[in-house]
Amino acid sequence: MRKLAEINNSAAALLFADYCQSKGLQVEAELTPQGPAILHCDQASYEQATELLREFINQPDHPRYQTAAWQRSQPVAQSGSQGAMHIPWAKLVHSPVTSIMLVFCLLVYVWQQVNFQSAVTTLQLTEPQQLWRWFTPALLHFSVTHLVFNLLWWLLLGAAVERRFGSVYLLNFMVVTAVMSNAAQYFLVGTNFGGLSGVVYALFGFCWLNQKRYPQPRPLISDALAVFMVVWLILGFADVLWVSMANWAHLAGLLSGLIMALLVKPLPAAANQ
C-alpha cells in the first residue's frame, strides 16, 4: 500500500475511504491516537484516488460521499438490526488458530454427547498437577446455547485478533487467558465449570481497550456493547440470571484481556484490517 495523504479530520478520512471503496478502489484510512489520519491506497488506484481526493477537498460536504458511506454500511446495519453478527467466514482460511479451536470445541461437544462422563473426567481441572488441565476446561460446553454463544464471539473476535496480530499472538493470548480464567474459577469456586467464556471475555476487554488506544476505522466492540457485557457480568455475580455462570472465570478473563491490551499495539500495516 502507498501513502496517499494525511487528513486531520478522522471522520473525513473514513468518509473518503468509503467513497473510494464504493468506486472499486483499494483505499484505506489508518487512524492514529494522536495526529492526522493517514490514507493508503494500492499502486493501481493511486492516480484515480488522487483525483478523487482533489474533488473531495473542494466539496467535502457533497451528498455523494455520505451516500457511499451509507451504502457501504447497509449490509452490516441490516444484519445488526436482525440480531445477527457479521462473521468473516471467508477469512477463516487465513485464521488457522481460530479455526482449529473451533473444531476442537465442536469435537469435544460431540464427545460429551457420546460419553459425557469420560469427556468431563478427562478435561476438567480436577488434577492440577497435570498442567494441561489448566487449559482444557475451555473446551467443555454444557449446552448448545453455551457452545454457540461462545463460538460465535470466538469466530468474530478471535479471527480479528489473529488477522491483526498474527496466529502466534492469538495462540499465546488464548492459552494465557484460558489458564488465568480457569485458575480464578478453580481457586475461588471449585472444579465444576467449563467453557470458552473466559477467553471470550478476555477478547472483549482486549479489543475494546485496544481500539480505544489505537482507533480503527471499523471497531469491533461499541461502548454500548462493552457496557452490556459488564452489566451481564455483574448480574452473574448477583445470581439473578436463569443460567449458572463461571463468574470468576469471566472476571479474570476480562481483566487479563485489558492488561494484555496495555502491553501491545497493532502492526502499522494491520490497523485497518
Q: How far apart are CA 220 and CA 203, in angstroms?
A: 10
For residue 37, what pLDDT is reported? 80
Residue 86 catalytic? no
pLDDT of the residue at 201:
95
More confident residue, 73 or 253: 253
Residue finishing a domain among 54, 81, 108: 81
95, 181, 197, 256: which is the annotated catalytic residue?
A: 197
- CA distance from start to end of the chain: 13
Shared domain for 48 and 127, answered yes or no, is no
The Cα 115–Cα 95 span in angstroms is 30
What are the C-alpha distances in Å from 203 to residues 28, 111, 178, 257, 260?
25, 26, 11, 6, 10
What distance in Å separates the CA atoms of residue 196 and residue 242, rounded to the nearest whole number? 19
Cell readout for 17 is 475511504
Of 265 and 131, the one with more pLDDT: 131
99 & 134 share domain: yes
Pick from 10-24, 116-130, 186-200: least confident: 10-24
Q: Among the listed ranges 12-16, 190-194, 237-241, which one has the minimum average pLDDT value?
A: 237-241
| Same-domain status, 72 and 112 | no
Are residue 77 and residue 134 in the same domain, yes or no? no
Task: Please check whether residues 94 and 74 belong to one and the same domain.
Answer: no
Reported as a single tens digit per residue, the pLDDT across 21-64 is 888 888 888 876 667 788 889 888 888 999 999 888 888 777 77
**Where does a domain end: 12, 47, 81?**
81
Per-residue model confidence (pLDDT) at position 45 = 87
The pLDDT of residue 237 is 78
Q: Are residues 193 and 163 in the same domain?
A: yes
CATH number at residue 35: 3.30.70.2350
Are 144 and 203 contained in the same domain? yes
Highest mean predicted confidence (pLDDT) among 41-55, 72-86, 89-103, 254-268: 41-55
Q: Which three cell numbers stand for residue 199?
A: 477467553
Q: Are residues 240 and 263 in the same domain?
A: yes
* Per-residue confidence (pLDDT) for residue 71, from 0 to 100: 52
Tally of structural domains, the chain? 2
Q: Which of 58-62, 79-83, 245-249, 269-273 has the highest average model confidence (pLDDT)? A: 245-249
Q: What's the average model confidence in pLDDT over 231-244?
A: 76
- Distance CA(37)–CA(6), nearest Å, equals 6
pLDDT at position 102 is 94
Same domain, 139 and 158: yes
The parent domain of residue 149 ranges over 89-270
Domain boundary among 81, 107, 124: 81
pLDDT at 242: 61
Which neighbouring-strand residues pair with 5? 39
Q: Is 222 a catalytic residue?
A: no
Mean pLDDT value across the chain: 82
* Confidence band of 272 (pLDDT split at 50, 70, 90): very low
Residues 98 and 203 in one domain: yes
SS in 3 state form for 216-241?
CCCCCCCHHHHHHHHHHHHHHHHCCC
Domain match, 236 and 166 both? yes
Cross-sheet strand order for the sheet of 37-41? 2-7, 37-41, 27-30
Q: Which of 40, 141, 146, 250 is catalytic?
A: 250
Give the residue among 111, 109, 208 at the shortest CA–CA distance from 153: 208
**pLDDT tens digits for 168-220?**
999 999 999 999 999 999 999 999 889 999 999 999 999 999 888 877 666 77
- Tell me the C-alpha to C-alpha distance, in Å, between residue 126 and each of 197, 225, 253: 19, 34, 20
| Residues 69 and 142 reside in one and the same domain | no
Q: What is the CATH number of the domain that holds 148?
A: 1.20.1540.10
